[in-house]
Amino acid sequence: MTSQSSQSGQPPLKTIRGSFLDFVDDPFYAPEADSARYIADGLLVLDGGKIKAFGAYADLQSEYGDLPTTVYAERLIMPGFIDTHIHYPQTEMIAAYGEQLLEWLDQYVFPTEEKFQDEAYAQKVAEIFLDQLLSNGTTTALVFAAVFPQSVEAFFEAAERRQLCMIAGKVMMDRNAPDYLCDTAESSYQETKALIQKWHKKGRLRYAVTPRFAITSSNEQLRKAGELLKEFPDVYMHTHISENVNEVAWVKELFPDCEGYLDAYDQAGLVGERSVFAHGVHLTDAEFQRLSEMKSAIAFCPTSNLFLGSGLFSLDQAKSAAHPVKVGLGTDVGAGTSFSLLQTANEAYKVAQLRQQKLSSFQALFLATLGGARALCLEDTLGNFEVGKEADFIVLDLRATPLMAFRNPAAVASSLSDLADRTFSLVMMGDDRAIQSTYILGEIVYQKGKASPPYTATA
């Protein structure tokens, strides 16, 4: 090849041509015209899994026009979706009937998570789970495993084989749960430490210290989690907060010396820039302010919050100009009812409506991409098509069903406002049927209608 080839031994450069949408700024604060980047005929130049160039085809054609190209006509190409809160062991008990949070945990979740003591079982579910993520266009996720270290091993091994950027951790829980799921403050510390040493920053993998929530962790265990964050300052902290009113009341009883729910985590040193709190439906004004001050993130999980009857998260408060909090979307499967971040954004819109708030399609898609990357401190490598970032992206079909095709007679949007309308219909009506292809590090790993490759280590 010519000078356009990569250095010897590397895969040659290649390009993707089509319509692209990504975000270069936050549309909750900047005008949409300045934050959404739409290129109706664009070119993405890929070099060994990274983005080498990106822009209008007309501008890049002279330099890269001769490279092998995949053309996606009448499709929309976006950065891969980022799910900021999900439980892989709960894949099999999605859609469990009839209960709210605390009873639902006892009745459905805990018995299911016990199965993840068996590593072979965990391996099998990890593959199913990752297939689900990719077929829904999700390329990165912040993931709860189960309390058993082997459940983390199984997950990271599966993610590593697929070269995915995934963040996960062993659940820490030492009280108010069945004995078969409880560790101790000390064992959770030791097991977590060993897992961090083995997996954190191995390739694209990252570790999250994962106390389940304040109800199932003693103060001593929360403090041990805080010690780990001091010892390993670049690992994440991932937990639940203020999801359900009965939960909030119980935390008050369990931590009488704390000012509130967040304070129980704060006093243990768990509130920082790499901390991600799922839900936050019942946070106080002071707690929102503290999260803003500490640059922590909230995972907004609307399908879960509606399914468990938890309440209506205030996105406007989190995204306030005075005390902005980083927010990503979380499916929270298995309390969440879909792996699709499109469906999650759909429900987010309806939650906003019930609160007399608005959520535009660009705001929703920002949360699912660059917003999620920022919530997970991954914006230097993921979230949009900036040159140098990792090439995880998806190809969307806005006419994926007969009704969607009727709603959108012309596939390619002619203007940003036209695109806003079409992507709104995508958010309302789309799901895994709208995901045509998913790329990881510039390689296609999922194509709608085609069987996924056999990733499982043992047949």
Interface residues toward Zn ion, by CB under 5 A: 278, 332
* Helices 149-161/185-199 angle, 10° precision: 20
Closest CA to 213 of 175, 169, 165, 259: 175
Closest approach of ligand GUN to the CB of residue 111, in Å = 12
Of all residues in the shown chain, the one whose CB is closest to ligand GUN is: 335
User: If contact means CB under 5 to 8 A according to the sort of partner, which of Zn ion, ligand GUN, none does residue 408 touch?
Assistant: none
Token code pair at residue 12: 């040659």
How many CA atoms, within 13 angstroms, populate the side-chain half-sphere of residue 379? 18
Of all residues in the shown chain, the one whose CB is closest to Zn ion is: 332
User: If contact means CB under 5 to 8 A according to the sort of partner, which of ligand GUN, Zn ion, none does residue 109 touch?
Assistant: ligand GUN
* ∠ CA 272-292-36, rounded to 5°: 110
Binding footprint of ligand GUN on the chain (CB under 6 A): 87, 101, 105, 109, 212-213, 240, 243, 304, 332, 335
Ramachandran area for residue 287 (φ above 0: left; ψ -120 to 50: alpha; else beta): alpha
Closest CA to 142 of 341, 287, 292, 347: 341
Closest approach of ligand GUN to the CB of residue 253, in Å = 16
Give the neighbor-by-neighbor strand order of the sheet with 14-23.
50-56, 36-47, 14-23, 69-79, 393-396, 435-440, 443-447
> Across-strand partners of 167?
142, 206
Q: Return the biggest CA–CA distance within the chain.
A: 70
User: Which lies closer to ligand GUN via its Cβ, residue 110 or residue 189?
Assistant: 110
User: Which lies closer to ligand GUN via its Cβ, residue 51 or residue 172?
Assistant: 172
Closest approach of ligand GUN to the CB of residue 66, in Å = 51
Closest approach of ligand GUN to the CB of residue 126, in Å = 17
Closest approach of ligand GUN to the CB of residue 13, in Å = 44
How far is the C-alpha of 301 from the C-alpha of 238, rounded, in Å? 14
User: Which lies closer to Zn ion via its Cβ, residue 39 or residue 225?
Assistant: 225
User: If contact means CB under 5 to 8 A according to the sort of partner, which of Zn ion, ligand GUN, none does residue 19 touch?
Assistant: none
User: Which lies closer to Zn ion via its Cβ, residue 21 or residue 105?
Assistant: 105
Closest approach of ligand GUN to the CB of residue 434, in Å = 26
User: Which lies closer to ligand GUN via its Cβ, residue 26 or residue 243?
Assistant: 243
How far is the C-alpha of 187 from the C-alpha of 171, rounded, in Å? 12
User: Which lies closer to ligand GUN via its Cβ, residue 332 or residue 392?
Assistant: 332
